[in-house]
Amino acid sequence: MATLKLPAKKSSQPLIAAARKLSAQVGRLQFAPPVTHVYNPLAYARSAHEEYLSRFGAGRKRVVFLGMNPGPFGMVQTGIPFGEITAVRDWLKISAPIQKPAVEHPRRPILGFDCQRSEVSGRRLWKLFSERFGSPEIFFVDHFVTNYCPLAFLSASGSNVTPDKLSKAERARLAAACDEHLSQVLAILQPEWLVGIGAFARERAELVTAGSPIRVGQILHPSPANPKANRHDWGETATQELKAHGVWE
């Protein structure tokens, strides 16, 4: 009697390996003032991040959403891109022990899932996906969310320093590692669309995908620091942008 041969289950191991490589590469970089502290959640929140990759990163994705870098009350705390606490714990159902970075800023402690602050960008993004798709299992069939840069940068006051504010030499060294990683992620996931969440992510997406068949789009960044994101319902605006691109029907 012939044995029924089931198709091999898609593995997220290539994404995990790529993330570990990126973590090691950026962990060796040095940054000058105004940066005084650098947080690498791929290292101290590795268990949560790899659970995210393991559960939702397997298989080909039609659309990859690309953010810039971790927010102080999102991925910095949870290890998940745009990782607003409630969305990660209650919708993605991820709750893992979060360690501490080697050097912690006294005004920006890593509290993990005990953090009482909510990252507005992450709350808006995951709210859109949860309302449109219902469950993460349905959303991640064709979609994935990642960040271009895994590091968060803090000044002496504890304020956030975005990657575009780094020196030219620092940006170049960081981009070399991040561009390579994004190329690996795209080779693994083979998306039709790479959607930048904000202009910075879209610009990096265009550079990395130049000459490839991957189509690049952009949606308004959901940050409350972006005045346009606060004028109307951000989810409605992003949905209309995605429909205009042809990403969503």
Q: Tokens 């690049």 appear where?
A: 216
For residue 24, is it within any domain? Answer: no
For residue 42, is it within any domain? Answer: yes
* Total number of domains in the chain: 1
For residue 53, is it within any domain? Answer: yes
* Helix ranges, the chain (H): 13-27, 41-44, 46-56, 75-78, 85-86, 120-133, 136-142, 168-189, 199-209, 227-231, 234-245
For residue 240, is it within any domain? Answer: yes
Per-residue confidence (pLDDT) for residue 7, from 0 to 100: 38
Q: How far apart are the first and last CA of the chain?
A: 46
Residues of the chain with pLDDT under 50: 1-9
For residue 179, is it within any domain? Answer: yes
Whole-number Å distance between alpha carbons of 82 and 123:
8
CATH code of the domain in which 36 resides: 3.40.470.10
What does each C-alpha distance from 152 to 77, 92, 207 come to in angstroms? 11, 22, 22
Digit-coded pLDDT (tens) for 97-152: 999 999 999 999 999 999 999 999 999 999 999 999 999 999 999 999 999 999 99
For residue 18, is it within any domain? Answer: no
Per-residue confidence (pLDDT) for residue 4, from 0 to 100: 38
Per-residue confidence (pLDDT) for residue 147, from 0 to 100: 98
Q: Which domain holds residue 212?
A: 32-244
Per-residue confidence (pLDDT) for residue 11, from 0 to 100: 86
Per-residue confidence (pLDDT) for residue 1, from 0 to 100: 37
Per-residue confidence (pLDDT) for residue 10, from 0 to 100: 73
The DSSP secondary-structure symbol of 82 reads T
